[in-house]
Structure 1
């Protein structure tokens, strides 16, 4: 009698655990996230990141990035500090292109081609071409807290007008609840760049 009772209990616990695991996996992989709308933002909402650039394990530069939702030209804007403010609607309404970082909606397994031509403050121009893929949607911890986030990998090459041609790997973690990335790493073969959320508030 005890044998059958023990077997029943063990079998029941196993089934419960299996159902829990399968349910967890389904929730993480079946999530689909659309692009945020203007109504999703609140005046006073703030994001703060810390960043650093390292070469051969030695920090070459570091600093902070900041963004806040403010009233701007009878609508809402992103204030980045100093005199930099951009209308949120303008950013959200940009037409999708190969230069768009994200392709909405986001879901695990989605792939696209990311290509952008750029020019930096020093006058160097270049081109970035990468294959992007949404790898997972799971809980991820940064200095600013613990959030459900998409892990998106971008792998390809970067070239510039100074003759540089090399591999470039970017990884972004995008948290839908924050309408923003919470971490970004970039490895260009010469150094490592890391940008991580340290604070978020409404």
Structure 2
């Protein structure tokens, strides 16, 4: 068995005819915080104003619960299937805030020069704040809309104002923001999220 007299074969480090030498290594973009703080505060404040139209729309769209007065002291008994509207009120509010969150996530992504986690956090907090304010305002406006002016007669049917009985529904808005924004980040696939306009 003969031994090889030459050096061991090593891969050639010589550049091929079509290779381009890398003179400057491109730096990975870093998260911009300081420059995005003021736009993030603006996003948070603007989104909190959306609580007013959201509350008004819910107070008019959510179905009231119809009950019958069964005693002279005002004891109420819900009509058949009317108690389901307690869930309907919650579902309508949840779908409205989820839709708001999806739209806010897309609009926040369109702020191209401000893309990143700072504006995303501001959008999530802004939708959460708008949802919480809309929950409080909407219940109040619904109560005033379905106010019973005089004492109902025995056997009469009255409509009770819509109500929201769970604070867990406030998670739907931020969920919509994070899902839509995350999908757009994944679809973009660039290190700087396309912040540079060039």
Q: TM-score range by the shorter chain?
A: under 0.3
Structure possessing the higher relative contact order (Cα contacts under 8 Å, 6 or more residues apart): 2
Rg comparison, structure with higher value: 2
Greater per-residue helix proportion: 2
TM-score where L is the length of structure 2: 0.21
TM-score where L is the length of structure 1: 0.21
Greater per-residue strand proportion: 1
